[in-house]
Chains A and B, each alone.
Chain A
Amino acid sequence: MSSQHPCQRVVVTPGFRVRVAAVPEGGAGAAGLGDTMALRWWWRCGPGSRWEQPLGSLPRLRPPGPGARTPLLPPTPSAAICHFTQRNSTLSFPKICNIFWRFHHTSTSHWCSCSKTVSNEKYQDPFQLGRKDLKNLYEDIKKELLVSAAEFKEMCDYYFDGKGKAFRPMIVVLMARACNIHHNNSREVQASQRSVAIIAEMIHTASLVHDDVIDDANSRRGKMTVNQIWGERKAVLAGDFILSAASVALARIGNTTIISVLTQVIEDLVRGEFLQLGSKENENERFAHYLEKTFKKTASLIANSCKAVSILGCPDPKVHEIAYQYGKNVGIAFQLIDDVLDFTSCADHLGKPAAADLKLGLATGPVLFACRQFPEMNAMIMRRFSKPGDVERARKYVLQSDGVQQTTYLAQRYCHEATREISKLRPSPEREALIQLTEMVLTRDK
């Protein structure tokens, strides 16, 4: 194995078939991004400074910081946009990813000789694997929404039109399969696990409907928002109803642990929304605050739904933790990229207005990074971009700075961590799909 790449080491531990650890050339252990201390340190010292020494897990990945700018990463806005429109950009990430890919490919065939069919070609698209499980997903969700009034039914069904990405249900069913295979080589998805996928999408949608009222948003996924069409009073009720239907479906799974795990999501979503209201004076606190908000508003749902299906599929608490950590890291990366797209993508493409976060007064990752290069942004952040011209100026600063690259880089680190976690499971096509999914999170453009 060691001939594959000097940086990789396979550790076989009891209970797990394969444990992959990314080992730096220096030989120190792998540091996880879940480690807040390391992250805080990274933020404080700046990724351009001595960052490699304490984190040290990915020596080849050069951070696009001001001190370590490579010729591959011109810090111009157009280059940043180029990265998100052309999938095969010259960013350093795909290289690392390919290394990973090759490694996993070989490790899979090495450890699991029964699955000789494993190849890059076949599992290029993880969505293919889960698609079978997710067939009729939206039809089944609509069946959960038992409403007698026709107009109210239409409102509740509105976002379950089959045009969403179904990103969350996809992760959930793939995780379910990966855990089932890990546990007893089962190739089936249990009905209760599929219910978790449905519930995750319902909770997510309910929160979208409420968020749109809170933010007074007009468009989402390329169509008008529920509040725009039916008014705020009814929109809030539609969100409440979807949530109650999700709760009923959750109770019908009949497992109190699963109820607790997914109820945590509901609490986190609300607390995340409260966190979004406040802002911190101190720069370091501000970044920690941003990450906490990101976890609660986005990652908690993915992390806890992954945990829920792992509990249903496998009794080993270590597996539950792996599933949770994978979901948490992918979730944070997903939101970081979302925050980047708010700057780099145009409104038509996103299905919602661009620079929406700034208009709402929110300072997301790219802004916080940019602020370190342009301290004059501090005042704007504190007044939540409320003065005329603030939004435009802040946007300009962000695109002039390396805020977009830094945020993307941070997202890569979270994806790497997710990959490291999921690699602890027994190899399976589904596990490979989950690894590839982390890459899709990074390269998506909408």
Chain B
Amino acid sequence: MWGALLRRGGRGPGCLRGLASGGPPWSQVVSEAEKIVGYPTSFMSLRCLLSDELSNIAMQVRKLVGTKHPLLDTARGFVYDSRNNLQMRGLVVLLISKAAGPSTGDISFQHNMVSGIYSSQRSLAEITELIHTAFLVHRGIVNIGELKSCDGPLKDMQFGNKMAVLSGDFLLANACTSLAQLQNTKVVELISSAIGDLVQGIYYENSKSSEENCLTDDICISTWKEQVFLSHSALLAKSCQAAMELAKHSAEIQDMAFQYGKHMSMSHKLHSDLQPFVKESSADTVAFSLNSAPAVLHQEFLGREAWIKQIREAQGKGNTMDYKKLQAAIKAGKGVTSAMDLCRFHGNRALAALEGFPPSEARAALANIVYAVTRFP
């Protein structure tokens, strides 16, 4: 498989190519990368998922079937989606650990390595996943005061909230415990601050989505970038940096790992924001966020007033949004292409950061991830 990947790429793992040609599909990139780091990363938080506390919650969550509590979807995601995006962060932490290798002059340390990765770095990858998952759960809390009767009985929704707070806290507490066991105060500080960033990022997300009457925030793309950094990039960027700190790599290497994590996840987010606008099959138009990158960029080109006018037109009668109409409006403008440009810009920055690492399979896999998230049909 790896050989096939290399042939497709055209060049060996020795050098990084640009973004022009398309790489292999995402799922392939992930499964190949998992082989490099030694074992499938989806097993990572199994210890946690199998604990008494969470099995108990899994039993209780069945009570929610039939309601619209978001915890149900999140719980389903653990089962069905674990091969996709869910564990991407842990994988990247392992890959960059392997790409950096042991720090020079540190030979005594090396016997702790399995597949070229320190056990502390494996713990860190797991911690990153635990934190990410904890916030997937905490994102799915509902406001009891804003419930509609179609959501389900009030009592069940309260119960769902209770389970969501508890299970998120449980995952977070496990992350904190593992973090403390790393015995590195700098890493604890980095990851704790990443949790703070993530919380603030989600807060911004929430304050937007609460305005359900479909008016967008008046934000420019630089604000969008700041907020997306907090909600989607900070955790991965700081985890990559922390992985370097655990191997006692220099501040320069730490910064490069940070830059890779930051820019790769920015292009990942842009890539997923762009999906509703680049998919060929227009039959199943999905509702997209009016605060996604193409929409925000579209507003920047069009001006706020004209944009609001377009939204009002798409809203029509009965306050149901005609997303198809709105999508067409955005596609007609420059929002989509400039979001793609932005995606590639961050992809290139991520690749540039990788130049600081010696050529290896792991580095090539990290580059392939960038190719996958910058590829459009």
| Interface set of A (CB-CB < 8 Å, partner B) | 146-149, 151-152, 210, 213-214, 216, 227, 231-234, 236-237, 240-241, 243-245, 247-248, 250-256, 259-260, 263-264, 266-267, 269-271, 273-274, 277-278
Report whether A251 and B188 are in contact in the complex, using a CB–CB cutoff of 8 Å. yes
Report whether B188 and A259 are in contact in the complex, using a CB–CB cutoff of 8 Å. yes
Report whether B170 and A236 are in contact in the complex, using a CB–CB cutoff of 8 Å. no
A96 to B195, CA, bound (A): 49
Q: Which residues of A contact B144 (CB under 8 A)?
A: 216, 227, 231-232
Does B183 touch A at the CB level, under 8 Å? yes
- Most chain-B Cβ atoms within 10 A of its Cβ — which of A147, A148, A244? A244
A256 to B183, CA, bound (A): 5
A269 to B184, CA, bound (A): 23
| Interface set of B (CB-CB < 8 Å, partner A) | 53, 56, 135, 138, 141-146, 158, 161-162, 165-166, 168-170, 172-174, 176-177, 179-181, 183-186, 188-189, 192-193, 195-196, 199-200, 202-204, 206-207, 210
- The verdict on A240 contacting B172 (CB below 8 Å), with A213-B165, A263-B177 known, is yes
Q: Which residues of A contact B210 (CB under 8 A)?
A: 233
- Most chain-B Cβ atoms within 10 A of its Cβ — which of A151, A231, A232, A267? A232
Q: Which residues of A contact B203 (CB under 8 A)?
A: 149, 152, 234, 237, 241
Q: Which residues of B contact A234 (CB under 8 A)?
A: 203, 206-207
Query: Can you list 30 A-B contacts with CB-CB less than 8 angstroms, sorted by A residue number?
Result: A152-B200, A152-B203, A210-B165, A216-B144, A216-B161, A227-B144, A232-B142, A233-B141, A234-B207, A237-B199, A240-B199, A241-B200, A244-B195, A245-B196, A247-B176, A252-B185, A253-B185, A256-B180, A256-B183, A256-B184, A256-B185, A263-B176, A263-B179, A263-B180, A266-B177, A269-B169, A269-B173, A274-B166, A277-B56, A278-B56
B209 to chain A, nearest CB (A): 9
Q: Which residues of B contact A248 (CB under 8 A)?
A: 189, 192-193, 196
Q: A252-B185, A270-B166 are in contact. List 4 more A-B contacts (CB 8 A).
A: A213-B161, A234-B203, A244-B199, A270-B53
Report whether A259 and B161 are in contact in the complex, using a CB–CB cutoff of 8 Å. no
A209 to chain B, nearest CB (A): 10
Q: Which residues of A contact B161 (CB under 8 A)?
A: 213-214, 216, 232
Report whether A247 and B192 are in contact in the complex, using a CB–CB cutoff of 8 Å. yes
Closest to A241 in B: B199
A237 to B165, CA, bound (A): 10
Q: Which residues of A contact B141 (CB under 8 A)?
A: 213, 232-233, 236
Closest to B192 in A: A247
A385 to B179, CA, bound (A): 40
A148 to B162, CA, bound (A): 28
Report whether A237 and B196 are in contact in the complex, using a CB–CB cutoff of 8 Å. no
Closest to B166 in A: A273
Chain B's interface: helix, strand, loop or mixed, by majority? helix
Q: Which residues of A contact B146 (CB under 8 A)?
A: 231
Report whether A149 and B173 are in contact in the complex, using a CB–CB cutoff of 8 Å. no
| Partner of B189 from A213, A214, A252, A274 at Cβ < 8 Å | A252
Closest to B162 in A: A214
A216 to B165, CA, bound (A): 12
Report whether B142 and A244 are in contact in the complex, using a CB–CB cutoff of 8 Å. no
Report whether B56 and A274 are in contact in the complex, using a CB–CB cutoff of 8 Å. yes
A269 to B53, CA, bound (A): 13
Q: Which residues of B contact A250 (CB under 8 A)?
A: 188, 192
Q: Which residues of B contact A252 (CB under 8 A)?
A: 185, 189
A278 to B196, CA, bound (A): 31
Report whether B185 and A254 are in contact in the complex, using a CB–CB cutoff of 8 Å. yes
A359 to chain B, nearest CB (A): 13
- Most chain-A Cβ atoms within 10 A of its Cβ — which of B144, B146, B172, B173? B173
Q: Which residues of A contact B188 (CB under 8 A)?
A: 247, 250-251, 259
The 3 closest A-B pairs by CB, nearest first: A247-B192, A251-B189, A231-B143
- The verdict on A243 contacting B172 (CB below 8 Å), with A149-B204, A232-B141, A248-B193 known, is yes
Closest to A247 in B: B192
A252 to B56, CA, bound (A): 36
Q: Which residues of A contact B169 (CB under 8 A)?
A: 210, 269-270, 273
Closest to A147 in B: B200
B23 to chain A, nearest CB (A): 36
A232 to B157, CA, bound (A): 11
Q: Which residues of A contact B142 (CB under 8 A)?
A: 232-233
Q: Which residues of B contact A146 (CB under 8 A)?
A: 196
Q: Which residues of B contact A151 (CB under 8 A)?
A: 207
Q: Which residues of B contact A263 (CB under 8 A)?
A: 176-177, 179-180
Q: Which residues of A contact B186 (CB under 8 A)?
A: 251
Q: Which residues of B contact A254 (CB under 8 A)?
A: 185
Q: Which residues of B contact A274 (CB under 8 A)?
A: 53, 56, 166, 170
A264 to B180, CA, bound (A): 9
Q: Which residues of A contact B204 (CB under 8 A)?
A: 149
A251 to B145, CA, bound (A): 37
B345 to chain A, nearest CB (A): 25
Q: Which residues of A contact B180 (CB under 8 A)?
A: 256, 259-260, 263
B133 to chain A, nearest CB (A): 14
Report whether A270 and B170 are in contact in the complex, using a CB–CB cutoff of 8 Å. yes
A147 to B169, CA, bound (A): 21
- The verdict on A236 contacting B168 (CB below 8 Å), with A248-B192, A256-B184, A274-B56 known, is yes
A250 to B143, CA, bound (A): 32
A273 to B172, CA, bound (A): 14
| Partner of B196 from A216, A232, A244 at Cβ < 8 Å | A244
